[in-house]
C-alpha cells in the first residue's frame, strides 16, 4: 500500500480513529502530525473499547507509531495513556519527535480561563501553540536534557508576568509551581528519553525504502487554523498538507489523501454550523449516533450532511477519496436531507464564507433524500464483496448523490464501530 494521509473532512469526530485502525494493518509506520490531547480517537476491537488521545490508532496492530513534530504533548497524560495501554496487555511501539512541543499545566490554566468563548477542550492546546509561535515554549528535547529542570525554570520566567498579571497564578503560587513543575517534568523527560528521536528521519527512511507510512490527522479540515471557521477552530493545521510540515511526509513521494466524513454532520464547541438540527430531531440523531465527545464527554451538536462545506474541505485539503462513516446511524432516522448550496440574503453564493458572522447568516438549500435502508449486522456482513452494486438501492443512491456532488469517490463505507464493520470498494 502506498503512503496515505487520513484527515477529517468536517469538524472532527468523523471516525478517523477507526479508519486508521483499519488501514494500519497494511502500513509499516503510523504518524500523528498535529494537535494534542484535544483529539479523542475511539477504536473498538474484539469487544474492547480503546480511547486514544495521543497514541496513534495504529497501536492496536503493534505497528511503530510516531508522534511527529507538529504534535503538542502533555507528558503526564501521555504517560497515563501508555500505562493504561500496557496494563491491558499491549506493548506500545512509540517514537516521539524531539521537536514536539510540551504542554505544561499553566497552558491548561490559561485555556480554562480563555478557551470558553470558543468552547475548547481545555487541554491547553491553544496556549501551547501560541507560546510555540512566540518562541518561548519548550520541546521534548528540553525535558530530556541534563539541565531540564533549569530549562523549565528559565522558560517559566518568560511567562511569569503574564500568569501573575492575568490572575492565573498568584506570586506565591507561581514560585511553588515553578519548583514543582520543573522536578515533575524533568522526571517525565527521563521516562520518555528512550522514545524520543528525530522522527522525520524514521519517516524518510521508511518512505525511501518502500515501506508504507500512514499519516493520521487529528480534528477536521473545518477546524483548521488557517482555512477553518476562524476563530472557532483549533490551533494547528488539520489539512493534509500538515502531514508534510508536522509529520515528515516527503513532497514528491506518491501519496493517497483520504478524507473521512460522517453520513451526517457533527460539531463540538462553539461556532457556525449552517445545517445544525435542534429540538427532538437533534436529540434523536445524537442519541442514535451516541454523539458525545470522546475527550470531554460534551454532547455533540448534530445536523444534516453539509455537502457544500464538505466540498470546500475536499478542495482545500486536496482530498482524493472519501470514507463515509455512520451510515448505520443515518438509516435509523427519518427526514434525511443534504445541503447542496448556501444562500445569503436570498442570493445563492459561490464561495465558502471566511467570516464566521457571515457563515452564521447562511441559509442552507437542501435536497431531500429517500430513507436509507436499515440493515441487520448479518445483512451487512453479507455485503463484504466490495462491490457498490451489491448495496441496497437507497444506500447506493445516497453514495452516488454525494460522489456526483463532490466529484471524488467514496471508497470506504463504515457501518459500525468494529474493525470488521467496514466495506472497502
Ligand atoms: P482546542 O483544540 O481544544 O483548542 O478547541 C478548539 C475547537 O476545536 C473547539 O471547538 C473544540 O471543541 C474543537 N476540537 C478540538 N479537538 C477536537 C476533536 O478532536 N474533535 C472535534 N472537535 C475538536
Query: Tell me: the pLDDT tens digits for 6-61?
Result: 999 999 999 999 999 999 999 999 999 999 999 988 777 777 888 889 998 888 88
Cell of 108: 491548561
Q: Is any ligand 1 atom within 6 A of the Cβ of residue 120?
A: yes
pLDDT at 50: 83
**Ramachandran region of residue 259, left (φ > 0), alpha (ψ -120 to 50) or beta?**
beta
Q: Is any ligand 1 atom within 6 A of the Cβ of residue 36?
A: no
* 135 in the same domain as 159: yes
Q: Could you tell me what percent of the chain has a pLDDT over 90?
A: 85
pLDDT at 174: 95
Q: Is any ligand 1 atom within 6 A of the Cβ of residue 234?
A: yes
Give the CATH number, domain containing residue 148.
Answer: 1.10.300.10
Cell of 78: 501521555
Place 1 in a pLDDT band, splitting at 50, 70 and 90: low
Residue finishing a domain among 194, 212, 238: 194
Which residue's alpha carbon is nearest to atom 11 within ligand 1?
120
Atom of ligand 1 nearest to the CA of 122: 3
Instruction: Please state whether beta strands 363-368 and 337-344 pair in parallel, antiparallel, or not at all (unpaired).
Output: antiparallel
* 303 in the same domain as 271: yes
Place 108 in a pLDDT band, splitting at 50, 70 and 90: very high
Q: Could you tell me what percent of the chain has a pLDDT over 70?
A: 100
Distance CA 13, CA 286 (A): 13
Residue 84 covered by a domain: no
pLDDT at 296: 85
> Cis link prior to 358 (omega < 30° from 0)?
no
Q: Is any ligand 1 atom within 6 A of the Cβ of residue 38?
A: yes
- Tell me what the mean pLDDT of segment 337-359 comes to: 98
How many whole angstroms from 26 Cα to the centroid of ligand 1?
A: 29
Q: Decide: pTM greater than 0.85.
A: yes
Which of 223, 230, 236, 267 maximizes ligand 1 atoms within 8 Å of its Cβ, making it the mutation to test the pocket?
Answer: 223
* 404 in the same domain as 342: yes
Q: Give me the domain span that covers residue 153.
A: 101-194
How many whole angstroms from 234 Cα to the centroid of ligand 1?
A: 6
Q: Identify the active-site residue in 13, 142, 224, 328.
A: 13
* 158 in the same domain as 16: no
Number of domains in the chain: 2
Atom of ligand 1 nearest to the CA of 39: 19
**The pLDDT of residue 382 is above 90:** no
Q: pLDDT (tens digit, 9 = 90+) per residue, 286-335?
A: 999 999 988 888 999 999 999 999 999 999 999 999 999 999 999 999 88
Q: Identify the active-site residue in 21, 41, 111, 328.
A: 41
Q: Is any ligand 1 atom within 6 A of the Cβ of residue 124?
A: no
* 213 in the same domain as 181: no
How many whole angstroms from 121 Cα to the centroid of ligand 1?
A: 6
Q: Is any ligand 1 atom within 6 A of the Cβ of residue 212?
A: no
Residue finishing a domain among 166, 194, 222: 194
What string of H, E and C letters represents the secondary structure of 351-415?
A: CCCCCHHHHHCCEEEEEECCCCCCCCHHHHHCCCCCCHHHCCHHHHHHHHHHHHHHCCCEEEEEC
Q: How far is CA 98 from the centre of its chain?
A: 22
Smallest Cα–Cα separation from 306: which of 361, 252, 363, 344? 363
How many whole angstroms from 113 Cα to the centroid of ligand 1?
A: 16
- Tell me what the mean pLDDT of segment 217-237 comes to: 98
Which residue's alpha carbon is nearest to atom 15 within ligand 1?
38
Distance CA 139, CA 99 (A): 6
* 9 in the same domain as 148: no
Residue 260 covered by a domain: yes
pLDDT at 34: 98
pLDDT at 80: 95
Cell of 216: 493520521
* 213 in the same domain as 183: no
Mean pLDDT of the chain: 95
Q: Is any ligand 1 atom within 6 A of the Cβ of residue 409?
A: no
How many whole angstroms from 308 Cα to the centroid of ligand 1?
A: 21
- Tell me what the mean pLDDT of segment 176-189 comes to: 96
Residue 90 covered by a domain: no
pLDDT at 44: 78
Distance CA 55, CA 64 (A): 11
- Tell me what the mean pLDDT of segment 193-205 comes to: 97
Amino acid at each position: 500500500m502506498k503512503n496515505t494521509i487520513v484527515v477529517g473532512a468536517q469538524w472532527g469526530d468523523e471516525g478517523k480513529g477507526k479508519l486508521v485502525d483499519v488501514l494500519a494493518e497494511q502500513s509499516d509506520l503510523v504518524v500523528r502530525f498535529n494537535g494534542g490531547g484535544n483529539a479523542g480517537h475511539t477504536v473498538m476491537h474484539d469487544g474492547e473499547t480503546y480511547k486514544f488521545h495521543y497514541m496513534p490508532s495504529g497501536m492496536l496492530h503493534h505497528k511503530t507509531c510516531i508522534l511527529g513534530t507538529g504534535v503538542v504533548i502533555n507528558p503526564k497524560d501521555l504517560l497515563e495513556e501508555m500505562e493504561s495501554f500496557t496494563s491491558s496487555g499491549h506493548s506500545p511501539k512509540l517514537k516521539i519527535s524531539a521537536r514536539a512541543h510540551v504542554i505544561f499545566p499553566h497552558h491548561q490554566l490559561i485555556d480554562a480561563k480563555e478557551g470558553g468563548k470558543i468552547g475548547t477542550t481545555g487541554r491547553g492546546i491553544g496556549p501551547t501553540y501560541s507560546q510555540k509561535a512566540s518562541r518561548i515554549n519548550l520541546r521534548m528535547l528540553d525535558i530530556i536534557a541534563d539541565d531540564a529542570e533549569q530549562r523549565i525554570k528559565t522558560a517559566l520566567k518568560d511567562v511569569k508576568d503574564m500568569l501573575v498579571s492575568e490572575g492565573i497564578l498568584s506570586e506565591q503560587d507561581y514560585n511553588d509551581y515553578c519548583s514543582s513543575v520543573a522536578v515533575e517534568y524533568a522526571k517525565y523527560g527521563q521516562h520518555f528519553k528512550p522514545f524520543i528521536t528525530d522522527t522525520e528521519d524514521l519517516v524518510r527512511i521508511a518512505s525511501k525504502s518502500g515501506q508504507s507510512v500512514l499519516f493520521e490527522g487529528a480534528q477536521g479540515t473545518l477546524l483548521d487554523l488557517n482555512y477553518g471557521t476562524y476563530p472557532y477552530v483549533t490551533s494547528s493545521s488539520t489539512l493534509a498538507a500538515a502531514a508534510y510540515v508536522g509529520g515528515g511526509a516527503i513532497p514528491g513521494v506518491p501519496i493517497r489523501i483520504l478524507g473521512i466524513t460522517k453520513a451526517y454532520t457533527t460539531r463540538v464547541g462553539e461556532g457556525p454550523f449552517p445545517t445544525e438540527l435542534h429540538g427532538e430531531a437533534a436529540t434523536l440523531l445524537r442519541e442514535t449516533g451516541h454523539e458525545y465527545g470522546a475527550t470531554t464527554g460534551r454532547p455533540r451538536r448534530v445536523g444534516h450532511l453539509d455537502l457544500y462545506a464538505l466540498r470546500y474541505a475536499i478542495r482545500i485539503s486536496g482530498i482524493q477519496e472519501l470514507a463515509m462513516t455512520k451510515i448505520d446511524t443515518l438509516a435509523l432516522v427519518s427526514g434525511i436531507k443534504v445541503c447542496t448550496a448556501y444562500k445569503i440574503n436570498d442570493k445563492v453564493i459561490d464561495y465558502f464564507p471566511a467570516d464566521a458572522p457571515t457563515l452564521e447568516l447562511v441559509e442552507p438549500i437542501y435536497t431531500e433524500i429517500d430513507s436509507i435502508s436499515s440493515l441487520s449486522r448479518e445483512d451487512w456482513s453479507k455485503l463484504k464483496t466490495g462491490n457498490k452494486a451489491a448495496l441496497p438501492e437507497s444506500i447506493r443512491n445516497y453514495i452516488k448523490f454525494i460522489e456526483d456532488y463532490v466529484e471524488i469517490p467514496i471508497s470506504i463505507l463504515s457501518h459500525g464501530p468494529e474493525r470488521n464493520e467496514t466495506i472497502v470498494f
